[in-house]
């Protein structure tokens, strides 16, 4: 799951990279997020979830939305607007190989 946001000036520097691991997943899932600052106050924000989770109710889109409620992320996005969304339908295998197939929405 990936979103592009236009955020108020000064929130993140172009070229700034932030990676996270875990939150808001449980100890039975794995995954993490990225936040990339780009020029013109654009932020790429996304979350990757391992596909071997046991809970059939786990929804990667819901995980991303919960991640965005974390105080750090919420402060970054406050006053901004989402300008694009992308859902990747390719499974990420160990080693990072993936046949990328993405659909843009929004």
Whether pLDDT at 17 is above 60: yes
Whether pLDDT at 91 is above 70: no
Number of Cα atoms under 13 Å in the Cβ half of residue 79: 8
Write down how long the chain is.
Answer: 106
Name the residue with tokens 């071997």.
52
Complete domains list, the chain, with CATH: 2-105 (3.30.9.90)
The predicted structure's pLDDT at residue 78:
98
Whether pLDDT at 106 is above 50: no
* Mean pLDDT for the chain overall: 86
Distance CA 58, CA 103 (A): 21
H helix intervals, 8-106 = 60-67, 71-77
**21-52 tens-digit pLDDT:** 999 999 999 999 999 999 999 999 999 988 88
């Amino acid at each position: 799951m990936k979103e592009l946001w236009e955020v108020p000036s000064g929130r993140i520097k172009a070229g700034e990279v932030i990676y996270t691991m875990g939150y808001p997943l449980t100890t039975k899932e794995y995954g993490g997020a990225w936040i990339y600052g780009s020029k013109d106050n654009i932020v790429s924000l996304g979350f990757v979830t391992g596909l071997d989770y046991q809970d059939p109710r786990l929804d990667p889109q819901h995980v991303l939305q919960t991640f965005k409620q974390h105080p750090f992320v919420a402060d970054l996005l406050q006053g901004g607007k989402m300008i694009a969304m992308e859902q990747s339908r390719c499974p990420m295998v160990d080693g990072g190989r993936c046949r990328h197939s993405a659909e843009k929405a929004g």
